[in-house]
Each structure stands twice: as C-alpha cells, then as structure tokens.
Chain A
Amino acid sequence: MINWNIILSIAKTHLVTKLRQTLVATLGVTFGIGSYITLVSFMTGLNAMLDDLILNQTPHIHIYNEIEPSKDQPVSIYDDFASHLNFVRSIKPKISQKKIHNALPIIDYLEKDKDVLGALPQVVTQIFYIAGSIELGGNLTGINPLEESKYFNLEDYIIEGSAETLENTDNGIILGIGIAKKMALNVGDRIQISPISGDFFPLKIVGFYQSGISDLDAIQSFTNISTVQRILGEANNYITDINVKLKDLEKALPMSQLIEQQFGLKAVDIKTANAQFDTGTDIRNLITYAVSITLLIVAGFGIYNILNMLIYEKMNDIAILKATGFSGKDVQLIFMSQAMIIGILGGLLGLLIGFGLASFIGTIPFETEALPTVDTYPIHLQPSYFIIGFSFAMVSTFLAGYLPSRKAKKIDPVTIIRGQ
C-alpha cells in the first residue's frame, strides 16, 4: 500500500529546503522545453513561409502540350523492318500546336471530378515589352484573375492594384515589378506589348506583381485571357495551360498520370516539380528536433546530478525512514516524485516561456523585398508542439529521477547506521 500523502509531503519538504538546487533543476527543464517550443514554432513558421513562397503559386497539376519528338518513329512501327536494326538520326519534333486541343471540354470534365477544387485555363505566350525605345523579352500569361486569386493566392503577390481591377479593365495588365523598375513605369501608365508575330498592343498598367523571385518578376506579367487571345489573334478556345488545384495534395501524382494517359497531354504534379522543397523541410525539422533533444538531455543530466547529490546528503534520512518502517519502494517514490515535480513545474513553465518567446518573435518586424506577404517573423504555433514538449519533459525527468531513486531504494540502513 502506498501512502501518497506522506511521500509527497517528504518530497515537498526536501524540495523546499533545497530551494536553490530545486530552482536550478527546474530552470534546466524550463530552458529545454522553452527553447524547444520557440525553435520548433519558428522553424516550422519558416518552413511554411518558404513552402508558401513556391508551392502556393504552384498548381497541384500543371497540364500543357509538350513539344517533343515522337517516341515511335514510323520505321519502328512498320512490320517488315521488325527484324532489322534501325537507326534514325537527328530526330526533330513535328510541327504541332501549342494550344491544348479541346481545352474547354477537358476543363469541364476536370471540374466535375470530386477531388478537384478548381481547373483554371491559362494562355502563356512570349512577348516583348516596349516603352519608348526599350524592348524587353518576357512572358505574358492570360488568366481569370478572380479565380487565380481564389485558388493560387495571386492577390498576395499583387503589391499595387488588385485582381479585381484587372478583371474589370479591358486591355489591362499587371506588370512584374522588375519590368516596371527597369522601364520606370507607374500604375496608370501605358505599355506597348508586341507578340513574336509582330504588331503592337497598348495595355494599361493596373497593378504590379512581385513573387519574391526576382528572375520571375523581371519577365512575368498577367492580363485577362481574352486580351491575350486578342493579341495573338486566336479564338476564345485557345488555351495553352490548365492548372488544377486538388483537395488532397497526395492525389496529385496518380491523377497526373491518369490525365497524361487519358488526354495525351503532359501533366506534371507538384511533388515532381518541387521535390527539393520537401527535402529542405525534412532537414530543417531534423535540425530542430536534434537541437531540442540535446537541450533536454542536458537538462536531464542536471536533474540526475542534483538528485544524486541529494541522495548522498540524505543517506541518514533514508536510513531512518527505512528503520521506522518505510519500504525501499516508498523511499524510491519519494525521490521519483521529486524528479517528477521538478519535471512538471519546469515543463509547464517552459511551455509558458516558449509560448511567450514565440509570440514575441512573431511581432518582430521582418520586411524583405523578396517576400511581399511577410511583415513579421513567421511563427507557427500548434497544440501538438506543446504536447510533445511536455511529454519530452516528463520522459527525460522520469529517466533522470529513476536511476538515482533506484539507488536510494537499495541503500542498506544497517550500513549507514553502523557507519556513524
């Protein structure tokens, strides 16, 4: 039978009379847990931000018409030559259209799929920006501005103007900030656009676009699909790309394979396109956990040390407790509960300090040209971090308390009393 009242009251007395050591041990745990929470929320915040930078704008599946040489040359299809060894040198892709054939029915079909959030058409084309005597090469993408905002957060990257003004302005353009700087243009100015085929089209600048990737900002602009179609002199079924956003990112790969098979188009899923980002995220998480676990192990050794010393100091007390009828297990529980009290107090305090510190970091201004959507350091607080942190504290203090307390359990009172 275990009498917790008396065990806890002895444990409490030990902790209170050795207040300084108790505080040092507790603060060790607090420091470990606090830095874990701060570190993990900062690191994941950073991860999320970097992922957003690329992945938010990236479609889950990007469908387009790849220009590539045919895999099967006529000679290899012809049966009479099947037993011969054929060489065809200098294979060239055959002339084909850039547009997706039957794009509008495909979009309708995709949007009916229950896994698809949205399938947005785009017209991507190479153009020249002309202002006065300057001519710059670039990309002009025709989009549905409102839907792009809804599914691919376009609005986040428009630093002046809005998607709505583009939607409502015929012959409007949202210009990449790099181009605007090079050409000294402001919102409301006009810019001449020239497609590769020639001709000039004046467009009105309704906004600026900044993705944070300066190479992209120096070439990329957006306008309405119908405007691009008009510039290219194509009909309104001229669609070069379809961007699909799914409900579940994990389904991107199987679905892209299905689309390639079904429509004979090129379909690239987000994971294939951005494989290196996953690796980066994994490594940053690994570093976070390695550092946190190291801190907690250090804190655990602190507790181990302090309890060990306490047990040496309390040899006489342990002997007298055992002589008056406390069992070895009672004595072990006295020291275990001291470790656990230190762990619980230190852990809770650590969670609070971690929360405070993380929230504080979240208010520090962090402004950079490359990241227009961010104005303070990114912090990602999640309940699971607090649960993991507290469990860490419990496990490490348990282990740190277990070893010394087992020694206390085994102390032979006769040896101590006779040794006096």
Chain B
Amino acid sequence: MDIVLEAKHIDKYFKKPVKFQVLKDINFQIKTGEFTSIMGKSGCGKSTLLYILSTMDTNYTGELYLQNQLITGKDATHLSYLRNKHIGFVFQFHYLLSEFTVLENVMLPAKKLAEKSVVDIKQTAQNKLKMLNIEHLALKKASQISGGEKQRVAIARALINNPSIIMGDEPTGNLDSHNAENVFSIFKQLSEEQGLSLLIVTHDEDFAKKTDRILLMEDGKML
C-alpha cells in the first residue's frame, strides 16, 4: 500500500517559559486507507504532533513527507495550498464560520482551491451533506444548528476537496456518546468505503480501540 504521510525524526522544543523538549524523535508512517488513532495522556505532545503533521506548525526539526514529497521547509503559501488540497481537518470545537450558511461553510475550501466551477462545487457540497444525512440543514446559518450537527458539517467541509488524509483533534471530545458514536461510524465508513486515510488524536479509549491502529504516546515519545 502507498504511504500517505511519513514522519522522520521529528523533534520539537518549547522555548517558553523554559526550554522543554515536547517531541522526541518521532518516526511513523500512515498508509492509504488506514484508520489510525493517537492516544496518550494530556501533555504528552500528541496535539503538538498533529499540528506539525498538519503543516500549520513549522517550528520543528526532522522531515515530513506527504505522499512521498518532502514538505519540511516549504514556504507558507505552498503549505496553505497543500493543506487546502490534501488535508481535511476536524477539531474538537466545531470551528464553523458562524455568519455563513452550512452550505457556504462546506463550499469555502473548494472555492479557495478553485479547481471546479461554483456550480460543481455546490453539487459536490450537497452530495457530501447528503452522505452525512444533513442535507436538510444546507441553508441554515451555522450558528443555528446543534453541536452534533456542527461536527458533521465540519466533516463535510473536511471532505469537500477529496483530501488524501483527514486529521482530527479530539473530534468527539465535545460530543455526547450518541453523537460521538455517530461521528465514529462516519469515519469508519469513509475509511472502509472510500479508502480514506484518517489520523485521529483522542482521549477516548473506546473510540481508539475500534480503529485499525493505535499509536501510543508518552512524554513526547512514541511507544
């Protein structure tokens, strides 16, 4: 199987308030279609790792490959493009633009990518919403829907550009068990039916157990 994401010898230090090594020599690979979770206690550096992998944090040493391309050291505009095209995000807190409608929120990354016409993008966005059973919310304002619905909209948005990998930072952390279950089954379905790679940081042991592979972290090291 192809390798989607590969980390080689990643080290990271926090300089403030005192110099402290958060990540110590992290090495791992994510293959296409793999549903991986990263587990560990609070403060072990798993979120920090995720933000490095997401290309948003560039302040580290080591090498990062996305689809076998070295992305360490690329300029900010190129990294923005890579995030836009290849990486989908789901956060613990929904992070929708509250003044826009659900549909506009989902369409936004695709409009930025601008590979398709607006009509096509709209069609794709509606398909994604339909797939997640929230097509009836399309024209509502993002501020008017429930927490579970927001998270599903965020997933739809993460999927809009057909990314190579979906990354999640505690995507079920803020949801009740019913909605958490719902989100998990969506991820599982995406992984199995569409061969999408997923990398999810979580506290939730039940959630992690159901994934293909668990990466355990402790004190900045991968076990």
Known: A3-B111, A322-B80, A324-B108. A17 touches B99 (CB 8 A): yes
B residues with a Cβ closer than 8 A to A are: 47, 51, 54, 56-57, 76-77, 80-81, 83-85, 89, 91-93, 95-100, 108-109, 111-114, 157, 169
* A interface: dominant SS: helix
B83 nearest in chain A by CB position: A325
Q: Determine if A6 is an interface residue (Cβ-Cβ < 8 Å).
A: yes
Residues from chain B with a CB closer than 8 A to the CB of A413 are: 56
Question: What range describes how many residues of A lie at the interface?
Answer: 20 to 34
22 A-B residue contacts at CB 8 Å? A3-B111, A5-B111, A13-B99, A13-B100, A320-B97, A321-B97, A322-B56, A323-B91, A324-B84, A324-B89, A324-B108, A324-B109, A325-B81, A325-B84, A327-B76, A327-B80, A328-B80, A329-B77, A413-B56, A414-B51, A417-B95, A420-B93
Contact A324 B112 (CB under 8 A): yes
Contact B108 A417 (CB under 8 A): no
Contact A1 B56 (CB under 8 A): no
Contact B76 A328 (CB under 8 A): yes
Residue in B51, B57, B77, B89 whose beta carbon sits within 8 Å of that of A327 in the complex: B77
Could you tell me which residues of chain A, from 316 to 372, have a CB within 8 Å of some CB in chain B?
A: 316-317, 319-330
Besides A327-B80, A420-B91, 17 more A-B contacts (Cβ < 8 Å) are: A6-B111, A13-B99, A14-B99, A316-B95, A317-B98, A319-B95, A320-B95, A320-B97, A321-B97, A323-B56, A323-B83, A324-B157, A325-B113, A328-B80, A413-B56, A417-B51, A418-B47
Residues from chain B with a CB closer than 8 A to the CB of A418 are: 47, 51
Contact B108 A6 (CB under 8 A): yes
Residue in B51, B91, B112 whose beta carbon sits within 8 Å of that of A326 in the complex: B112
Contact A317 B108 (CB under 8 A): no
A245 to B97, CA, bound (A): 71
CB-CB contacts of A1-17 with B at 8 A, as 1s and 0s?
10101100010011001
- B125: min CB distance to chain A, Å: 13
A6 to B54, CA, bound (A): 23
Residues from chain A with a CB closer than 8 A to the CB of B56 are: 322-323, 412-414
Residues from chain A with a CB closer than 8 A to the CB of B114 are: 1, 3
Residues from chain B with a CB closer than 8 A to the CB of A14 are: 99
A237 to B142, CA, bound (A): 96
Residues from chain A with a CB closer than 8 A to the CB of B84 are: 324-326
A3 nearest in chain B by CB position: B114
Contact B54 A323 (CB under 8 A): yes
Residues from chain B with a CB closer than 8 A to the CB of A5 are: 111
Residues from chain A with a CB closer than 8 A to the CB of B89 are: 323-324
B100 nearest in chain A by CB position: A13
- A337: min CB distance to chain B, Å: 15
Residues from chain B with a CB closer than 8 A to the CB of A326 are: 80, 84, 112
Could you tell me which residues of chain A, from 288 to 334, have a CB within 8 Å of some CB in chain B?
A: 316-317, 319-330
Residues from chain A with a CB closer than 8 A to the CB of B51 are: 414, 417-418
Residues from chain B with a CB closer than 8 A to the CB of A6 are: 108, 111-112
Contact B47 A317 (CB under 8 A): no
Residues from chain A with a CB closer than 8 A to the CB of B81 are: 325, 327
- B57: min CB distance to chain A, Å: 5
- B46: min CB distance to chain A, Å: 12
Contact A324 B76 (CB under 8 A): no
Residues from chain A with a CB closer than 8 A to the CB of B99 are: 13-14, 17
The listed residue with most B CB atoms (<10 A of its CB), out of A319, A320, A418, is: A320
Contact A417 B76 (CB under 8 A): no
- B212: min CB distance to chain A, Å: 25
Residues from chain B with a CB closer than 8 A to the CB of A10 are: 97
CB-CB contacts of A158-176 with B at 8 A, as 1s and 0s?
0000000000000000000
- B65: min CB distance to chain A, Å: 19
Which 5 A-B residue pairs are closest in the complex by CB-CB distance?
A325-B84, A327-B80, A324-B109, A320-B95, A6-B111
A5 nearest in chain B by CB position: B111
Residues from chain B with a CB closer than 8 A to the CB of A317 are: 97-98
- B51: min CB distance to chain A, Å: 5
CB-CB contacts of A377-417 with B at 8 A, as 1s and 0s?
00000000000000000000000000000000000111001
A330 to B109, CA, bound (A): 12
A329 to B76, CA, bound (A): 10
Residues from chain A with a CB closer than 8 A to the CB of B77 are: 327, 329
B78 nearest in chain A by CB position: A327
A414 to B77, CA, bound (A): 16
- B107: min CB distance to chain A, Å: 9
- A7: min CB distance to chain B, Å: 9
- B162: min CB distance to chain A, Å: 13
B118 nearest in chain A by CB position: A5
- A329: min CB distance to chain B, Å: 7
Residues from chain B with a CB closer than 8 A to the CB of A3 are: 111-112, 114
A323 to B95, CA, bound (A): 10
A17 to B143, CA, bound (A): 13
Residues from chain A with a CB closer than 8 A to the CB of B80 are: 322, 325-328, 330
The listed residue with most A CB atoms (<10 A of its CB), out of B51, B80, B85, is: B80
Known: A322-B56, A324-B157. A420 touches B112 (CB 8 A): no
Contact A420 B92 (CB under 8 A): yes
